[in-house]
Amino acid sequence: MECIEKWGMYELSFAGRSEGNPYIDYYIKAEFSGDNEKIVVDGFYDGDGIYRIRFMPSYTGEYSYRVWGNCLDDEKEGSFLVTPVKSSSNHGPVRVIYENFLAYEDDLPYNSIGTTCYAWVHQPDELCDLTLDTLSKSSFNKIRFCIFPKFYKYNEKEPVTYPYVRKRSAEGDFDFTWFNPEHFRRLDYYIVELTKLGIEADLILMHPYDRWGFSEMSKECDELYLRYVTARYAAFRNVWWSMANEYDLMSKGDDRWNEYGRLVTASDPYHHMCSIHNCLRYFDYGSEWITHCSMQRTDLYSHVELTDKYIKMYNKPVVWDEISYEGNIDSGWGNISGQELVRRFWEVSLRGGYAGHGETYVHPDDILWWSHGGVLHGDSFLRFAFLKKILCETPGGYIKCGQGIFDEVVGIPYDEENEATWSTVKYCSYEIHYYGFGRPSFRDYNFPEDEEYRIDVIDTWNMTVTDMGIHHGHTRISLPGREYMAVRLVRI
């Protein structure tokens, strides 16, 4: 019997009718049944007379399936075996846990270190391979990118493939009812490669940077597209849905976005992460189809420091997907220093949120990581493995912003039962105080005389942890008077 790993992607394919427009005129569906779940999924047409059905099992054991549709002459049946997870990069899909945090389905905390390469999959193969190679050596575990090609400054080349075929000639308008399978097969390939690397694929379904008309299709064509991509990609465990990038630069309106969000979540039997990303105005993240806040800063000066406020306001995980990029282009959203971007990552992380990176260094051939991928040129990406390591050391797995003392950020472990303890007990069992652009040369602590604390000084930029020994009572800890330092207090 055929075998597949739990949370793996199981694919069936069938030749079927293709007269007329097979993307509209025919459907194919399947029901998958195991001991613990029974799921109906839509298949999709992949060109050349072939229909495919993809399924992700969430349990082990034997599964059977039944396939039907008006593209087929008769129903198909079969069965396969789902084995326990073997590959180390497979922890299942990312889910919301404890309302505001993220974990893989196997309960491993997901400390998201995102990056953005909007149009990397639309670049020539060699560049895509180079991007994968860079990712494989990095600490990124999420990448945000667009299904539609991108037209924007520094992005004026044509994509390698288009998502639709042209109507009459190679120069004609695109037919928004006729997908180009080649475009989506490339995407399939790269999503699989990301899966192998253990990197979440945050798929941007729509965006405004367009000269081909993809951003302004009719509602019918939009819906056809959304059904197609959910049928095609929902069975990949690492997929997230981002309804749009900078939705508020598009003309669809909030009601339409809510309709589309509901369509996507209704079409996705696995309940992947789903959100919508803003430019100037946050969407109402309270909408029931939104799993997390996918945010871009809306102010030049005050943004990630509001992470804990937003978590409280929406009671959902906060994922900052755009907090300015490290680089040197002309725009303010793309020319901060590596130090400043790393500072923003630490602020976000210690306030209980998740941050995203991007790089926008001027390049002679306009190959900027933020859009095209390739190689990294900056200083910030080298510091994220260290941040991730520190976050992974959090007892219980989840760090939460505690009672802030005027001039410091306090991160303490998430504790569902004792949410109030940190406001009454001065020192919890584990705290990280991050000083950001502050440069204290010492800090005083008044520990209880009968409790002992191990103190580490963390240099978040130089990536060192210095053991300052075990202390009780009044304690003064020397610090180097540099920016980007943190102190970790652990009760023994």
- Residue 85 burial (10 A CB sphere; 0-12, 13-18, 19+): middle
Angle at 424 between CA 423 and CA 428, to 5 degrees: 80
**Residue 359 beta carbon to a copy of itself: minimum distance, rounded to whole angstroms:** 13
**Residue 440 beta carbon to a copy of itself: minimum distance, rounded to whole angstroms:** 5
**Residue 312 beta carbon to a copy of itself: minimum distance, rounded to whole angstroms:** 17
**Residue 300 beta carbon to a copy of itself: minimum distance, rounded to whole angstroms:** 6
* Interaction site with a copy of itself (CB under 8 A): 299-302, 305, 327-333, 335-337, 340, 362, 406-408, 435, 437-444, 481, 483
**Residue 281 beta carbon to a copy of itself: minimum distance, rounded to whole angstroms:** 14
Residues in the chain: 492
Nearer CB in complex with a copy of itself: 232/433:
433
Q: H/E/C letters for each residue in the chain? A: CCEEECCCCEEEEEECCCCCCHHHHCCCEEEEECCCCEEEEECEECCCCEEEEEECCCCCEEEEEEEECCCCCCCEEEEEEEECCCCCCCCCCEEEECCCEEEECCCCECCCEEEECCCHHHCCHHHHHHHHHHHHCCCCCEEEEECCCCCECCECCCCCCCCEEECCCCCCCEEEEEECHHHHHHHHHHHHHHHHHCCEEEEEEECCCCCCCHHHCCHHHHHHHHHHHHHHHCCCCCEEEEEECCHHHCCCCHHHHHHHHHHHHHHCCCCCCEECCCCCCCCCCCCCCCCCEEEECCCCCCCHHHHHHHHHHHCCCEEEEECCCEECCCCHHHCECHHHHHHHHHHHHHCCCEEEECEECCCCCCCCHHHHCCCCCCCCHHHHHHHHHHHHCCCCCCEEECCCCCCCEEEEECCCCCCCHHHHCCCCCEEEEECCCCCCCEEEEECCCCCCEEEEEEECCCCEEEEEEEECCEEEEECCCCCCEEEEEEEC
**Residue 441 beta carbon to a copy of itself: minimum distance, rounded to whole angstroms:** 4
**Residue 410 beta carbon to a copy of itself: minimum distance, rounded to whole angstroms:** 12
**Residue 304 beta carbon to a copy of itself: minimum distance, rounded to whole angstroms:** 9
- Residue 58 burial (10 A CB sphere; 0-12, 13-18, 19+): middle
- Residue 218 burial (10 A CB sphere; 0-12, 13-18, 19+): exposed
Nearer CB in complex with a copy of itself: 186/372:
372
**Residue 437 beta carbon to a copy of itself: minimum distance, rounded to whole angstroms:** 6
**Residue 405 beta carbon to a copy of itself: minimum distance, rounded to whole angstroms:** 9
**Residue 334 beta carbon to a copy of itself: minimum distance, rounded to whole angstroms:** 9
**Residue 269 beta carbon to a copy of itself: minimum distance, rounded to whole angstroms:** 41
> Pairing mode, if any, of strands 142-146 and 113-116?
parallel
Rounded distance between C-alpha atoms, residue 301 and residue 176, angstroms: 41
CB atoms within 10 A of CB 210: 17
Nearer CB in complex with a copy of itself: 114/327:
327
- On whether the CB atoms of residues 133 and 197 are closer than 8 A, the answer is no
**Residue 456 beta carbon to a copy of itself: minimum distance, rounded to whole angstroms:** 18
Nearer CB in complex with a copy of itself: 406/420:
406
